[in-house]
Amino acid sequence: MSFVQPGQSPHLSPSQILSLTAPPTPSQPAPSSPDPTAYILSINPLANSPSLLLTHATSNLTVVDRSSFQVVDKWIAPNGSGEISGVVGQHGAEGLVWTCGKEGGILGWDSRVKGGKATNKVMRVPGGKTVPLLSLASSAEHHLLAAGTELTNHEALIAYWDPRSPSQPLYTHSTLHSDDITTLSFAPSSLHSLTFPLQPSTDPDIPPPAQPQSSAILLSGSTDGLLALSNALEKDEDESTLGVGNGEASVAAAGWEENGGWGVWMRNDMDGVERWDASDFTLRSKAESLRLDTPEGVPSTQAWTTDYLIDVVPSLSTASSSRIGGCLVGDNAGNIALFNASNGDDEDMVISKTFRGGFRGHRDVVRAAYYDSSSQTMYTGSEDSVLCSWSLNDTSGKDEDEDVEMDKHAQVDGDDEMNGVKRRRPDEPMLGGDGGWGKRGRR
């Protein structure tokens, strides 16, 4: 692989750093490997609050104030709760946060109360066997919670609850996906003018189907490689499907974007990214893998090696509507880069920014990212239990127009191990980077 136009991309240093574990001392040296239960697996904004909600490989959560960058609360789950696999917020006066886990339950938390005060609203898929839940989405407007399950008894379900009556699901859809449902996301409230080519009935006495309410459209993705849009208000599963797209690999995460018209993006288990039109699921663009290296001979200040794809942040894309952009990638030392397609050859990628770890920042694999577009601040979390904030207004005197371009054809080896660091599994949580809530991902 080679640069098209070698140059100096902006190197950002973290504005604030918080370590959730005590620093090593002479009497208490650092452990040989990080504690997995202290990994930061997702970073979520709390509605009507200046705080961030962090999830870990446990059933508990950590609340961090954005201004002071200090831990201000810890939410402890009831006994018997499992590792959190999905988290969503419900905007409004109630201040509720919902989490789901592999033990098969959905738990409600009151963010207005110290300690989160987990409620008794525990929702489960009925049946004699526990059905692990892998993904979660919430629509406050329609009083709906949707949960995606692991493949159990040859079925992968999307189950819908009204959280005001949590004893039983309202209904379930079981034929849309044939494997673990790894990601769910309701359409954003700003979505408009999205119509679908619905098929009318052959019976002239039956009126043509109505277009669904935008806020009730649910995006789902699965390890079967399928992306789908469905009408969450339609109980009849045969009538609920609005469109499907068949990706090239297992779906790790997916979300919504508005760039030249409403679309959806997905990242897969091969560190690839695809972008689809939301109305008819035509493929807009794809990158088979973003595990890219710079060529030999490039100055060390410009050199970059990608070990994994962290997430996709559409609002950070500088690419055209037909190209890939807003991709956060990382290396095993805790450094991060933002990739966008170049304005030239579609096979080229640009390093728009780098976020340097090391002494001041992450020193291990970065697991999570959340971008607050209102303050232009990026928050990232890593396996060494470090939370960083990065001001995207701070270019440290670097010229932001001097981007570094990379050829997508030159890819590093796609083994499932990255120099001894395991890649993210499909059953590990990861935040959708553009302000969404925690979704399953993989590394």
Q: Per the domain annotation, does 198 fall within a domain?
A: no
Q: Are strands 42-45 and 51-55 parallel, antiparallel or unpaired?
A: antiparallel
341 CB-near residues (< 8 Å, 6+ apart): 285, 287, 319, 320, 323, 324, 325, 348, 349, 350
Q: Are strands 348-355 and 11-12 parallel, antiparallel or unpaired?
A: parallel
DSSP letter at 305 equals B
Instruction: Name the residue range of residue 291's domain.
Output: 11-21+38-190+214-441
Q: Per the domain annotation, does 264 fall within a domain?
A: yes
| CATH (domain of 74) | 2.130.10.10
pTM of the model: 0.84
Q: pLDDT tens digits, the chain, 443 residues: what are they?
A: 233 233 456 678 999 999 998 665 555 555 555 677 789 999 999 987 889 999 999 999 999 999 999 999 999 988 778 899 999 986 555 678 999 998 898 999 988 888 877 775 677 887 767 899 999 999 988 999 999 999 999 999 999 999 888 889 999 999 999 999 999 999 987 777 677 766 665 667 666 667 778 889 999 999 999 999 999 999 999 889 999 999 989 999 999 998 767 899 999 999 999 999 988 889 999 988 888 877 777 777 778 889 999 999 999 998 887 788 899 999 999 999 999 887 765 567 888 888 988 777 899 999 999 999 999 999 999 999 999 999 998 554 444 434 444 444 333 333 333 333 333 433 343 334 555 555 434 44
Beta carbons of 274 and 248 less than 8 angstroms apart = yes
Q: Per the domain annotation, does 206 fall within a domain?
A: no
Centroid of chain to Cα 372:
14
Q: Per the domain annotation, does 113 fall within a domain?
A: yes
Residues 331, 429: Cα–Cα separation, whole Å: 19
393 CB-near residues (< 8 Å, 6+ apart): 376
Q: Per the domain annotation, does 17 fall within a domain?
A: yes
Split into its structural domains, the chain has a count of: 1
Q: Per the domain annotation, does 72 fall within a domain?
A: yes
Q: Per the domain annotation, does 286 fall within a domain?
A: yes
Beta carbons of 267 and 257 less than 8 angstroms apart = no
Residues 134, 126: Cα–Cα separation, whole Å: 16
- Going by C-alpha positions, the residue among 109, 106, 169 that lies closest to residue 132 is 106
What Cα–Cα distance (Å) separates residue 420 from each residue in 33, 365, 411?
Answer: 12, 11, 19
Question: In this structure, what token pair is assigned to residue 123?
Answer: 């929702």
Q: Per the domain annotation, does 138 fall within a domain?
A: yes
